[in-house]
Amino acid sequence: MYKPLLSPGHTACAGCGQALAARLVVDVAGPQVIIANNTGCLEVFSTAYPESSWEVPWIHSLFENAAAVASGIESALKYLGKADQINVLAQAGDGGTADIGLQALSGMWERGHNILSICYDNEAYMNTGVQRSGLTPLDTNTTTTPVGKFSWGNIRPKKNMLEIALAHGLPYVASASVAYPRDIQRKVKKALAIRGPKYLHIFSPCPLGWRHEPELTYAVAKLAVETGFFPLLEFEDGKLSNVFKLKEIKPVEEYLKLQGRFRHLLSPEAKEELKRIQEMVNFNIEKYGILAK
Partner 1 sequence: MKAYLEGSQAIAKVVALCRPGVISAYPITPQTHIPETLAQMVAEGELKAEFVNVESEHSAASCCLGASATGVRAYTSTSSQGLLYMLEVLFNIAGLRLPLVLTCANRAVSAPINIWNDYQDAITLRDSGWIQFYAETIQEAVDLHIQGYRLSEDIRVLLPVMVNVDGYILTHGYEVVDIPEQELVDKFLPPYQLKYKLDPDNPLTLGVLAGPDYYMETRFAIQKTMEDVLEIIPEISGEFFEVFARKSGGLIEGYFLKDAEKVIVAMGSVCGTIKEAIDGLRDKKEKVGLLKIITYRPFPEEEIYQALKNAREIAVLEKAISLGGFGPLYTEIKSVFQGKKENPKISGFVIGLGGRDITKDSIRSVSDRLSGKQVDCEFIDLNLKGEHKDNLLGGSGVASQFIEQE
Ligand X SMILES: Cc1ncc(C[n+]2csc(CCOP(=O)(O)OP(=O)(O)O)c2C)c(N)n1
Rounded to a whole number of angstroms, the minimum distance from the CB of residue 6 to ligand X is: 14
Contacts with 118 (C-beta within 8 Å, 6 or more apart), sequence order: 25, 89, 90, 91, 92, 199, 200, 201, 202
Beta bridge pairs of residue 88: 34, 115
- Cα–Cα distance between 136 and 142 in angstroms, integer? 9
From the list 199, 203, 290, the residue with the least C-alpha distance to 243 is 290
d(CA 103, CA 97): 9
Q: Judged by CB under 8 A, which of 22, 28, 36, 124 binds partner 1?
A: 36
69-88 residues near partner 1, rule: CB under 8 A? 69-80, 86
Question: Rounded to whole angstroms, what are the CA distances from 112 to 68, 71, 169, 194?
Answer: 12, 9, 9, 12
CB of 133 to Mg ion, least distance (A): 6
- Asked if 93 touches ligand X (CB under 6 A), the answer is yes
Residues 89-108 that bind partner 1 (CB under 8 A): 103-104, 106-108
Pattern of binders to partner 1 over 214-233, x per CB under 8 A?
A: --------------------
3-state secondary structure of 229: coil
Please say which residue, 6 or 92, places its beta carbon nearer to ligand X.
92
> Exactly one of 67, 92, 115, 224 binds ligand X (CB under 6 A); which one?
92
Query: How wide is the angle at C-alpha 236 spanned by C-alphas 232 and 241, nearest 5°?
Result: 55
DSSP-derived letter for residue 156 is S
Among 25, 126, 174, 202, indicate the residue that binds ligand X (CB under 6 A). 126
The residue among 63 and 244 lying less far from ligand X, judged by its C-beta, is 63
CA distance 111 to 90: 14
CB of 26 to partner 1, least distance (A): 11
Binding of residue 55 to partner 1 (CB under 8 A): yes
List binders of ligand X among 229-268 (CB under 6 A). Answer: none
Q: Which does 128 bind (CB under 5 to 8 A by kind): partner 1, Mg ion, ligand X, none?
A: ligand X
The pair phi, psi for residue 256, each rounded to 5°, is: -65, -35
Smallest distance from the beta carbon of 161 to partner 1, in angstroms? Answer: 18
Q: Is 118 helix (H, G, I), strand (E, B) or coil?
A: strand
State which residue has the least CB distance to ligand X.
93
DSSP strand pairing (87-93 vs 33-37): parallel
In 112-236, where does DSSP find H-type helix? Answer: 161-166, 181-193, 207-210, 217-226
Do 121 and 202 touch, CB atoms closer than 8 A? Answer: yes
Q: Of residues 45, 54, 58, 63, which one binds ligand X by CB under 6 A?
A: 63
Q: What single-letter amino acid sits at 164?
A: I
Residue nearest to Mg ion (CB): 93
Q: Which stretch binds ligand X (CB under 6 A): 72-80, 123-131, 151-159, 259-267?
A: 123-131
Q: Is 128 a binder of ligand X (CB under 6 A)?
A: yes
Give the residues lining the site for Mg ion (CB under 5 A). Answer: 93-94, 122, 126
If one asks whether residue 31 binds partner 1 (CB under 8 A), the answer comes out as yes
Binding site for partner 1 (CB under 8 A): 31-34, 36-37, 43-44, 47-50, 52, 54-62, 64-65, 67-80, 86, 103-104, 106-108, 110-111
